[in-house]
Amino acid sequence: MSKVGVLGAGTWGIAVARILCAHHDVTVWSALPEEIDYIKKHHTHPKLKEIIIPDNMKLTTNLEEACAGEYIILGVPSVFVRSTVEKAKDYINDQILIDLAKGIELDSLYTMSEIIKDVLGKSTKLVALSGPTHAEEVARDMPSTIVSACNNLEVAEKVQNLFVGTCMRVYTNIDVIGVELCGALKNIIALAAGISNGLNFGDNTRAAIITRGLSEITRLGLSMGCLEQTFNGLAGIGDLIVTATSTHSRNFTCGTLIGQGYKPEEAIKKVGMVVEGINALPAAMQLAKRNNVEIPIINAVNEVINHGADPKETVNTLMNRDRKTELTRSISDINYENSIIRSKRGLGMKRVITYGTFDLLHYGHINLLKRAKALGDYLVVVVSTDEFVEHEKHKKCYFNYEQRKGLLESIRFVDLVIPEESWEQKIQDIKDYHIDTFVMGDDWKGKFDYLRDEGVEVIYLPRTPEISTTQIKEDLHKDKKGG
Ligand code: C2G
């Protein structure tokens, strides 16, 4: 049994509070006394009639009382997160904070966790709780899933445990920014799906919007150092499906009204609740610009909502853009770029490089590569091209470059394989790939010490003595003659 405070008695905050009441001591706070009074009197919520408020749910307008537990859940709309945390600041010390709000703050371009850290300080234990969860369905205990994201996995797991035995199955993730980006931007894609629905387009168009919309969000997230798995997970595609295909979704409903011809402000009024996708639009546009990422669907929604563009016209413009491929950069390029971004963000990604021919790949090579990777977090292997082997090493390989590259790329601790075309490229490689450590077998001892002037560590590891490519060839040759 834990003591949990829920700040915000909106539909989602109250839905989460209700399921936690089954096993925990829950106090819900609202800044609106009339909201608290209604819930106390009717044991339901004015905008969530399906919900039955359990007798053991405490309701208060006293913020200090609500912050007295080990957990504080922020269930206020994204635009009130900063002011609410500022109001609660004096009552927050080492509680675990759980944010439900989905959005990005204009100008600062902060996600909710970044706002909270901005107000409370970097050391706050913060979890983003986000996924495919309609309050209406959680209110009726329908089986649901959600992601608990925290850069400290243990904290994410503590929040995961809070929900054990409820209708909510929680998955953990460490990629807080990625989860929050999904939560904020999928609301805009849901607006687009609604507009398409309002124009009486069908499932084909909606599927296109969801698929290409996810691709936009993923591109933006990867440019910010997020994990690709996050976008293919519950907080990403999961939440996008549930938001872009359901009349429970305010964003989808608002988009539908706009597609039918209502002005955005009229549509918002008819929805009667906060439409987070509209709040997120300006920030999403700024974020994409800052990271130099193309977001055509989000941009089109922005044209319709904030610049009065005709919805049907906008769809035609989208459909007649330059032709594109679905193929994005290779995963190793993306992993590499992420490692660079993470290192620039000070997460200390250490990168190692090593060179070789790696013909007739054998366990001596593997021993070298495994030890090289163990010296850091990211291993770049530079494989001699066929021309380089022939003209510079005066050897002939049994496997050609592509075959040797493919073999190396299939080794789980090799992160990126690039060509070695000259003896002199090492200094440039070290610069291009932001290398921290240069590694070679000790048959090269002393040969590359000059690289230390480039600020890298130079390490020579003992060779595996009894095996070599030459040895293999000789033995096979002997067997053949003997055989
Ligand atoms: N290696 C090893 N034990 C072995 C054989 C090789 O540790 N029994 C190491 C080598 O010391 C080298 C790496 O595995 O660090 C690749 O070995 P080769 O393919 O033989 O590389 P080489 O032909 O030495 O080319 O610019 C540097 C060159 O490209 C290195």
pLDDT digits (tens, 9 = 90+) for 448-469: 999 999 899 999 999 998 899 9
- How high is the pLDDT of residue 433? 87
Q: CA of 114: how far to CAs of 48, 103, 110, in Å?
A: 30, 11, 5
Nearest CA to ligand 1 atom 26: 355
Provide the pLDDT confidence category of residue 345 given band limits of 50, 70 and 90: low
Q: Look at residue 123 and tell me whether its pLDDT is greater than 90.
A: no
Dihedral, CA of residue 296, residue 301, residue 306 and residue 308, to nearest 10: 100
Ligand 1: does its nearest atom lie under 6 Å from the Cβ of 443?
yes
87 is catalytic: no
Q: Look at residue 331 and tell me whether its pLDDT is greater than 70.
A: no
Plot region of 446 (φ>0 → left; ψ -120 to 50 → alpha; else → beta): left
Query: Residue range 417-427: average pLDDT?
Result: 95
- How high is the pLDDT of residue 121? 84
> 70 near 25, Cβ under 8 Å?
no
Q: Look at residue 439 and tell me whether its pLDDT is greater than 80.
A: yes
Provide the pLDDT confidence category of residue 335 given band limits of 50, 70 and 90: low
CA of 358 to the centre of ligand 1 (A): 7
Share of the chain above pLDDT 90, in %: 78
- How high is the pLDDT of residue 34? 94
- How high is the pLDDT of residue 437? 95
Q: Look at residue 348 and tell me whether its pLDDT is greater than 90.
A: no
DSSP structural state of residue 237: I
- How high is the pLDDT of residue 338? 66
User: Order of strands across the sheet with 25-29?
Assistant: 58-60, 25-29, 3-7, 71-74, 96-99, 125-130, 144-149, 168-173
- How high is the pLDDT of residue 478? 86
- How high is the pLDDT of residue 346? 52
Angle between helices 176-198 and 250-259 (to 10 degrees): 30
Q: Ligand 1 pocket check: which of 354, 355, 365 to mutate, most ligand atoms within 8 Å of Cβ?
A: 365
Q: Look at residue 483 and tell me whether its pLDDT is greater than 80.
A: no
Please tell me the distance from the alpha carbon of residue 47 to that of residue 35, in angstroms, as a whole number: 10
Full 3-state SS string of 357-425? CCCCCCHHHHHHHHHHHHCCCEEEEEEECHHHHHHHCCCCCCCCHHHHHHHHHCCCCCCEEEEECCHHH
Q: Look at residue 176 and tell me whether its pLDDT is greater than 80.
A: yes
**What element of type H or E holds 202?**
none
Residue-wise pLDDT for 136-146, tens only, equals 999 999 999 99
Q: Look at residue 371 and tell me whether its pLDDT is greater than 60.
A: yes
Q: Look at residue 253 and tell me whether its pLDDT is greater than 90.
A: yes
DSSP structural state of residue 95: P
- How high is the pLDDT of residue 241? 94
Q: Which amino acid is at 444?
A: W
Please tell me the distance from the alpha carbon of residue 251 to that of residue 256, in angstroms, as a whole number: 8
Ligand 1: does its nearest atom lie under 6 Å from the Cβ of 364?
yes
Please tell me the distance from the alpha carbon of residue 422 to that of residue 389, in angstroms, as a whole number: 10
Ligand 1: does its nearest atom lie under 6 Å from the Cβ of 355?
yes
CA of 432 to the centre of ligand 1 (A): 22
Q: Ligand 1 pocket check: which of 368, 414, 424, 460 to mutate, most ligand atoms within 8 Å of Cβ?
A: 368
Please tell me the distance from the alpha carbon of residue 372 to that of residue 380, in angstroms, as a whole number: 10
- How high is the pLDDT of residue 330? 57
Two structure tokens written together for 147: 């992601």
Query: Residue range 459-482: average pLDDT?
Result: 89
Q: Look at residue 233 and tell me whether its pLDDT is greater than 60.
A: yes
Active-site annotation holder among 102, 125, 158, 186: 186
Share of the chain above pLDDT 70, in %: 95
- How high is the pLDDT of residue 132? 96
Residue 325 in 3-state DSSP? coil
Two structure tokens written together for 471: 């040895």
Q: Ligand 1 pocket check: which of 463, 469, 473, 475 to mutate, most ligand atoms within 8 Å of Cβ?
A: 463
Nearest CA to ligand 1 atom 10: 441
Q: Which amino acid is at 298?
A: I
Residue-wise pLDDT for 6-24, tens only, equals 999 999 999 999 999 999 9
Residue 435 in 3-state DSSP? coil
Residue-wise pLDDT for 269-324, tens only, equals 999 988 989 989 999 999 999 888 899 999 999 999 999 999 998 888 888 888 77
Q: Look at residue 223 and tell me whether its pLDDT is greater than 90.
A: no
Does the CA dihedral 258-263-267-268 come out positive or negative? positive
- How high is the pLDDT of residue 59? 97
> 60 near 93, Cβ under 8 Å?
no
Residue-wise pLDDT for 57-94, tens only, equals 999 999 999 999 999 999 999 999 999 999 999 999 99
Query: Residue range 181-200: average pLDDT?
Result: 95
Nearest 5°: the CA angle 301, 302, 308 is 95
Please tell me the distance from the alpha carbon of residue 267 to that of residue 279, in angstroms, as a whole number: 14
